[in-house]
Amino acid sequence: MTRKILFVHGTGVRGASFDRTLSLIAAKVRQHLPRYEVVGCNWGDAFGARLNAHGCSIPGYSSGAAAGAVEAAAMARWTLLSEDPLLELRVTDLAAPLGPPQGPVVWQLLADAAEAPAALALLSTWGLAAPWPAFIGALVADPTWAGTIRLLGGTRAQLSAPVSRAVVAAFLGWLRRAGEPGITGAQRDELVLALQAALGGAALGVRDWFLGKLTDFALPRRTALNDRTGAALGDILRYQARGEVLRNFIGDQAARSGANVILAHSLGGIAAVDWLASGARQIEALVTVGSQAPYFYEIDALASRPFGAGLPEFFPRRWLNFYDPRDFLSYAGRELFPGIARDVVVDNGQPFPESHGAYWRNDAEVWPEIDRFLP
């Protein structure tokens, strides 16, 4: 007699995505587990989070919110520059001027900026003037900075703003590493303008290419980004608030299909563990991949079992749990549930987040282990 596996998917899965995943798993089951048949538990369409009021709680969901997108892009720029102050200069599209290149000129002006009066006046107000000359000296002695700025095209006016931002971003990192209190965003922008004046001044009509790229990315994507990530996050939040509905749905699907085994991914693994821990079931074995159930238990967020209670006697004694160290949404359960959960470490060969969804195609590790595990 053919035995049944109930597949419970993870967060953010809907419609065609579920169908494709189930089709892939069914093909793998036929290949590796011919004694089994897989049936799907599509809870995303029935239970998953959705914008019941068409997104009216999300500012700019349908309009794009131009001002907010520009502000977000500016913040994104400083986030990127905090990691790599030279990033904007490396990717600039400034063309070489008709005359001599201005990069060497701006580089020489930067060397003189250790004594820039406007910048020093601001820094003195904030009690940060003392480290400024040493910082500029170290920066000017850095061959990476010299090589980057000296090769820049564009006019002095075009270069003054991005070079000033790079220098200020590096100075903020200098302060951070020295344990100095930082400055506000408004103060940061004042310092950029003061340094910009020393490097050649601003020119009317100069296009902020880098900010434009970031804004072009963020502006039309506010709705798309929310749609892409909102379902996954919303499913987790809704499960924490209304999890009983999903657990009952899994129970109904298990009873209807006559499944002997549950195969669950991500949030589906949390819900499956909660359902199995809430009463005696006909399920003989549980297989979880990329699941957060052990983590939820450790932080005392598992609905069915408070931390320290362990699993009840009627919980299936056979639980196979896969995790990939590069999948930051996968967790280990053996030490939390000794004698019940057995962890298997796999390498899906992908960085996160691709690693979180790559288990199903791992024919070398995942499917042979499931074959050995199941009756």
Structure tokens at 117: 């009066």
Q: Are 367 and 267 found together in one domain?
A: yes
Does the bond joining 353 to the residue before it have cis omega, within 30 degrees of 0? yes
Give the domain-ending residue among 182, 207, 232. Answer: 207
Predicted local distance difference test score (pLDDT) of residue 276 = 97
C-alpha Rg value of the chain to the nearest Å: 28
* Confidence band, pLDDT 50/70/90 cuts, at residue 365: very high
pLDDT at 364 over 50: yes
Within a domain: 218? no
Q: Are 199 and 262 found together in one domain?
A: no
Predicted local distance difference test score (pLDDT) of residue 291 = 96
Q: Are 282 and 345 found together in one domain?
A: yes
Q: Are 175 and 113 found together in one domain?
A: yes
The arrangement of strands across the sheet holding 261-265 comes to 36-41, 3-8, 261-265, 285-289, 318-323, 341-345
Within a domain: 63? no
* Confidence band, pLDDT 50/70/90 cuts, at residue 34: very high
Q: Are 231 and 188 found together in one domain?
A: no
Average pLDDT over residues 108-112: 88
Predicted local distance difference test score (pLDDT) of residue 70 = 52
CB atoms within 10 A of CB 191: 24
Q: Are 151 and 194 found together in one domain?
A: yes
Predicted local distance difference test score (pLDDT) of residue 335 = 97
Within a domain: 153? yes
Within a domain: 307? yes
Number of domains in the chain: 2
* Confidence band, pLDDT 50/70/90 cuts, at residue 217: very low
Structure tokens at 263: 């195969």
Predicted local distance difference test score (pLDDT) of residue 225 = 44
Which residues contact residue 199 at a Cβ distance below 8 angstroms, ignoring those fewer than 6 apart? 106, 109, 110, 113, 156, 159, 160, 163, 164
Give the domain-ending residue among 155, 182, 207. Answer: 207
CB atoms within 10 A of CB 123: 20
Which residues contact residue 340 at a Cβ distance below 8 angstroms, ignoring those fewer than 6 apart? 311, 315, 316, 317, 318, 319
* Confidence band, pLDDT 50/70/90 cuts, at residue 127: confident
Q: Are 361 and 229 found together in one domain?
A: yes
Residue 364 near residue 370 (C-beta atoms within 8 A) = no
Calpha distance 109→143 (Å, rounded): 16
Calpha distance 334→263 (Å, rounded): 18
* Confidence band, pLDDT 50/70/90 cuts, at residue 48: confident
Within a domain: 216? no
Residue whose entry in the numeric block shows the structure tokens 């969901």: 61
Q: Are 201 and 129 found together in one domain?
A: yes
Predicted local distance difference test score (pLDDT) of residue 320 = 98
Domain range for 133: 84-207
Calpha distance 134→132 (Å, rounded): 6
Within a domain: 68? no
Q: Are 369 and 234 found together in one domain?
A: yes
Q: Are 36 and 92 found together in one domain?
A: no
Q: Is the pTM of this model over 0.85?
A: no
Predicted local distance difference test score (pLDDT) of residue 321 = 98
Give the domain-ending residue among 207, 232, 259. Answer: 207
pLDDT at 306 over 60: yes
Q: Are 199 and 133 found together in one domain?
A: yes
Q: Are 106 and 238 found together in one domain?
A: no
Within a domain: 67? no
Within a domain: 58? no
